[in-house]
Structure 1
Amino acid sequence: MQDALFDLPEASPEHAVIAHFQLGDDDLGEPDQWSVVFEAERSMVAAVKAAGVGEVDGNEFGGGEVVIFAYGPDAEALYRVMEPGLRALPFRPAHVLLRYGGPVDDVVRERVEL
């Protein structure tokens, strides 16, 4: 559908892949853990870009975990490309949330245990 005022195509919903990994302490983890995460993230950025399925948007360390964020038009396609890199990270417990739409309460989410 077109936006009549500006004649722009309607934006497709933004899906997300949000991966949570437990680290070795209750704060930011250790520098050796950071380097493992950064290397895996670089690999996933390249894979996602090559596949054209979205973008890896970064990470957040805190509260004893690291969270990696990625966004694109199809959460399943994005996860399939990222899955090898996510499973290769050694930190457990870990899970991934696949969000099928924007960050609203009534959007469908699927949890995948790693």
Structure 2
Amino acid sequence: MNTLSDLPEPETPEEAVIARYRLSDDQYGSRAEREAIFDAERTMTAAVEEAGVGEVDGNEFGGGEVVLYAYGADAAALFKVMEPTLRGLPFRPAHVVLRQAIPETESRVDL
């Protein structure tokens, strides 16, 4: 006989912050650009972990742009912690997509 305590916990829907930046060439950007992105990732990882709002999950370089990914239970809270660092990166054009789970929506923030 199953009891209420035997039932699995419902999963919290995961939300996302996805930041996209244009780089200086059509490939992977300059060494200085890549280093700036890696530094920003380390800064955001520490801030996100300290705030307990999710995790910075990495990047993708290619085609003249870089995309940064972060996930957590609340995209708005995650973005609030990441926003100063995201806005501080000098690469433009740039924007962030916030993916909310309930209701399932996406919103765009130009940087």
| Residue matched to 1:110 | 107
Q: Identity over the aligned pairs, expressed in percent?
A: 57
| Residue matched to 2:78 | 78
Q: Distance in 1 between matches of 2:98 and 2:42?
A: 20
- Letter of the structure 2 residue corresponding to residue 99 of structure 1: R
| Residue matched to 2:43 | 43
Show the 5 A alignment for 1:82-101: 82-101=82-101
Q: Distance in 2 between matches of 1:37 and 1:63?
A: 16
**Over aligned residue pairs, what C-alpha RMSD do you find?**
1.5
- Letter of the structure 2 residue corresponding to residue 47 of structure 1: A
Q: Secondary structure at the match of 1:66?
A: strand
Q: Secondary structure at the match of 1:35?
A: helix
Q: Secondary structure at the match of 1:84?
A: helix
Q: Distance in 2 between matches of 1:16 and 1:59?
A: 13
Q: Distance in 1 between matches of 2:24 and 2:101?
A: 32
The count of aligned residue pairs is 107
Q: Secondary structure at the match of 1:8?
A: coil
| Residue matched to 1:27 | 27
Structure having the higher Rg: 2
Which runs of 5 or more structure 2 residues have no equivalent in the other structure? none
Q: Secondary structure at the match of 1:96?
A: strand
| 1:30-51 Cα distance to aligned partner (Å, 9 max, x none) | 1111000000110000000000
Structure 1 length normalisation: TM-score? 0.90
Q: Distance in 1 between matches of 2:60 and 2:98?
A: 17
Shift of 1:107: 2.6
Shift of 1:20: 0.2
Shift of 1:101: 2.0
Q: Distance in 2 between matches of 1:53 and 1:110?
A: 19
